Amino acid sequence: MSATSLAGPWLTLIGLGEDGRDGLSPAANAALAQATLVVGGARHLALVAPLACETRAWPSPMDQAYPQILARRGEKVVVLASGDPFFYGVGSVLARFISAEEMSCLPAPSAFSLVASRLGWAQQDCALVTLHGRPLERIIPHLFDNAKIIALSWDGATPGKLAALLARHGFGASRLTICENLGGPREKLRAVLARDFTLEDVAALNTIALDLVADRDAKILSRAPGLPDAFFEHDGQITKAEIRALTLSALAPRKGELLWDIGAGSGSVAIEFLLADEKNAAIAIEANAERAARIHRNALALGTPHLQVIEGRAPEALRDLPRPQKIFIGGGVTAPGLLDAALDALAPGGRLVANGVTLETQALLIARHGALGGDLISAQISRAEKLGGFFALRPALPIVQWTFDKPC
């Protein structure tokens, strides 16, 4: 603990509502009165004006201001934020540079809390997401019949764009409540069905409440691995649903892990790895340019726009990538040096899973299992297909799957 932190907090984070000073506690008003510097957005500064001390609006990008705040360590500094600074706010960012002992926080109700209280919703039963500076497609994994979502908006155009996305995905009967300027004198709530959205002049400061209703043809993403192959655009180079379920089970995704999907094809394994937890990350490596573009489209369609796609041939394309905890090799296992490069890159304690269809690939995986150990399985799936006036089970090509845990 530093000498400064022993002396008590020097930085105060104050959460603001649209009612400005009127909504602040005596402690928050006292912190503003004692401050030598107040930092916040132009709107925040206007809400607490006038101030006798130095003020500074956030620059763009915001991180340019962090050294300036740190340079005032030991002075009484206030940072203004909307609602709760530690709920999708600047608080967690500042905590990377400033210890908790040096900060005090005086939060206001978050936009999520305000929306829930206005609509009588139990906040713990709602999915709380942000679309502020993030692709709209990030909401797709949360789309379920009868679900409730509260979403922070990016700007006044976000509600209309979100309504169009819902209609495209079979949720046109869902009710959107647009909550504008919550907590202030200009507060306004307007409700409309997604398919009937015609609202204009929506305030830039808005939060969206979604009461979801799925149409019969809605594409709803299961939380279990092995989504239908038809959910993915592909040219036949796809790990089929049943084998994909086995593969995801072998990969055993854990919160916050990074996957390399080498020879990604349609990107199906990487996409489902991301769907397993919103904190996961994945990089799809694909040598074919057309397939790489297809992976991008699949990622958007299935709500994982944060999937990173590398167009290149492994092992060369693996250089300088962040170290993964999980690696899946679905194609190109026999490429010279690929398995060695993947095993070298894998984090200690990480897991590699490789599938082989050809005899050459299977022989290589069997040899690695003999040399290094791990688990080796063979799997084959048969599907019922029409044969004359009857049905018969037609087997797909069998795969050999090697799973190896790298020693710590």
Residues 90-106 pLDDT 10s: 999 999 999 999 999 99
On whether residue 224 sits in a domain, the answer given is no
For range 16-45, the mean pLDDT: 95
For range 400-408, the mean pLDDT: 97
Give the chain's mean pLDDT. Answer: 95
pLDDT at residue number 8: 77
On whether residue 52 sits in a domain, the answer given is yes
Residues 303-324 pLDDT 10s: 999 999 999 999 999 999 999 9
pLDDT at residue number 6: 45
Q: Residue 331: pLDDT band by 50, 70, 90 thresholds?
A: confident
263 and 380 belong to one structural domain: yes
pLDDT at residue number 3: 42
On whether residue 219 sits in a domain, the answer given is no
Q: Residue 4: pLDDT band by 50, 70, 90 thresholds?
A: very low
282 and 266 belong to one structural domain: yes
Peptide bond connecting 159 to the previous residue in cis, omega within 30 degrees of 0: no
The strand pairing partners of 352, in sequence order, are 327, 404
80 and 195 belong to one structural domain: no
150 and 32 belong to one structural domain: no
Residues 238-248 pLDDT 10s: 999 999 999 99
Domain at 274, CATH number: 3.40.50.150
36 and 132 belong to one structural domain: no
127 and 57 belong to one structural domain: no
Is residue 177 helix, strand or coil? strand
On whether residue 216 sits in a domain, the answer given is no
For range 252-265, the mean pLDDT: 97
Residues 172-191 pLDDT 10s: 999 999 999 999 999 999 99
Nearest to 187 by CA among 88, 82, 81, 115: 115
280 and 313 belong to one structural domain: yes
194 and 278 belong to one structural domain: no
* Res. 7: pLDDT tops 90: no
pLDDT at residue number 86: 95
Domain that holds residue 279: 229-405
How many CB atoms within 10 Å of residue 269? Answer: 28
End-to-end CA distance of the chain: 32
257 and 293 belong to one structural domain: yes
297 and 351 belong to one structural domain: yes
53 and 21 belong to one structural domain: yes
Residues 204-216 pLDDT 10s: 999 999 999 999 9
For 131-280, where are the E strands, in sequence order?
Answer: 148-152, 175-180, 188-193, 206-211, 258-262
Report the predicted TM-score, pTM, of the whole model to 2 decimal places: 0.90
Q: Residue 151: pLDDT band by 50, 70, 90 thresholds?
A: very high
Domain count, the chain: 3
Alpha-carbon torsion angle 360, 364, 367, 369, nearest 10 = -130
